[in-house]
Amino acid sequence: MTFAPTPIPSRTQYVLEAIKHAILTAQLSPGQALVETELAAQFGVSKTPVREALKTLAGTGLVVMSQYKGATVRLVDATMAREVYDVRLLLEPEALRRSITRKGSLDEAQEALERADSAQDKAERSLANRDFHRALYLPCGNPLLARMLDEVRDQAALVSTVAWSVIPTWEREAAEHREILRLALAADAAAAAGALHDHIASFVRRAFPDDVDGGDAA
């Protein structure tokens, strides 16, 4: 027997998405305290949906809950980035290869790439890039594989947000995205998967040049 996930109440979902967006667009900085009373006042809700939203965000790795410090935005360092992107290196190229082999639609990847190219700021670009990568692996035909990648998706976006604030490398990454999609649309599964692996593997090396020991991300 399978059980459907319990739906998140609408107010909690609203607060969750608002806090997530603020984190992934650098409106809330890594290490910043997330005070329930302040957030409740900001969103015009009680503390309960704020508390539930923070618990959910802690589960996705964007927020850290501490008995003494309360909730804070997760800090990003080379160790955290390597862990997140190591998972992506292992799973995402294979998921793309399967998407291409199954002739899955890549229309959403094309649309996300166009949004990224026309983005007015790095926040909009970061969210579009996040959608681009998801559109590549979602048609892989294995829901569990897609869910595993979804679980690290927000943390990967947080790493990108922090890295771009130091070294804005999105033009290079945009060119790599275009090449990955070109190969995928040409149905060259091996070359597309290889290009995606290289793209992921180069990101943390550029973002943390003094700390990375061979592993990487995008």
For 176-201, the DSSP string reads HHHHHHHHHHTT-HHHHHHHHHHHHH
Q: Return residue ranges of the chain for CATH 1.20.120.530.
A: 78-207
111-120 contact pairs (CB < 8 A, 24+): 111/135, 113/174, 113/177, 113/178, 113/181, 116/170, 116/174, 116/177, 117/174
Topology of domain 10-73 in CATH is Arc Repressor Mutant, subunit A (1.10.10)
pTM of the entire predicted model? 0.80
| CATH number, domain 78-207 | 1.20.120.530
**Residue spans of the chain under pLDDT 50:** 1-6, 211-217
Q: Return residue ranges of the chain for CATH 1.10.10.10.
A: 10-73
